[in-house]
Amino acid sequence: MRLGVIACSILKAELDLVMENAPEIVEVIYLDAALHVTPQKMLERLLEEITAMAPRVDAVFLGYGYCQSLRGIEEKFDFPVILPQVDDCISLLLTPKRYAEEVRKEVGTWFMTPGWAEVGAQMVIKELKLERVARYGRDPMEMARRLFTHYCRGIFIDTGVKGREAYMEKARAFCKDFNLRLETTTADTSLLADWLEKARSGQAGE
């Protein structure tokens, strides 16, 4: 079987890890982490990418969660498209149960996997759609800090990928920028690996 992978670049470190020794995977495409900021455009982009990849593979694995717009995307194709059945990448790496537990502990929590730590403050600016304020002489970071005041905790999720200290340093810098206290927790790639294994073994939908 020839398996293609289309994934968010946020998950690159974890996916690269679980895709080792997977000869079925013949093509991998990582897309911009900011696609989810415009959910409908994100859906349209994924549909285009899957359609373009389809002639070269037998199945496509999506390295995403529902991300506001992807629920049911599998049903739009007449060949296997496998999407992990979780809300987003945080749930995929931390598990939905632990994600919910951490939110209950502190609603104002900003979750940082290694990929989220890497994109840092620039992703907040994109999330809040503040790039355009620079046209009017305003500082996007200052605006982001003002709009970010309901967050009080940043939590770094160590997923066991290489470069932990570098990612931690980025998480510290982020928390300093936004006046958050930094906490850390550990997770693993087992849920992601399980979904990928379903795609590799043709068990999607079971």
pLDDT tens for 131-182 read: 777 677 778 888 888 888 899 999 999 999 999 999 999 999 999 999 999 9
Give start and end residues of each alpha helix (H) in 23-84: 39-53
> CB 99: neighbour CB atoms within 10 A?
21
Q: Give the confidence band of 206 by pLDDT, cuts at 50, 70, 90.
A: very low
Per the CB < 8 A criterion, the answer to whether 5 and 25 are in contact is: yes
Residue 204 confidence (pLDDT)? 55
Domain ranges of the chain: 3-87+189-201, 96-186
- CA-CA-CA-CA torsion sign (61, 34, 167, 154): negative
Mean pLDDT in the chain?
92
> Rounded to whole angstroms, how far apart are CA atoms 35 and 65?
13
Q: Which CATH code of 3.40.50, 2.40.360, 1.10.287, 2.40.128 fits the domain covering 3-87+189-201?
A: 3.40.50
- C-alpha closest to that of 81 among 54, 48, 115, 117: 54
φ, ψ for residue 153, nearest 5 deg: -130, 135
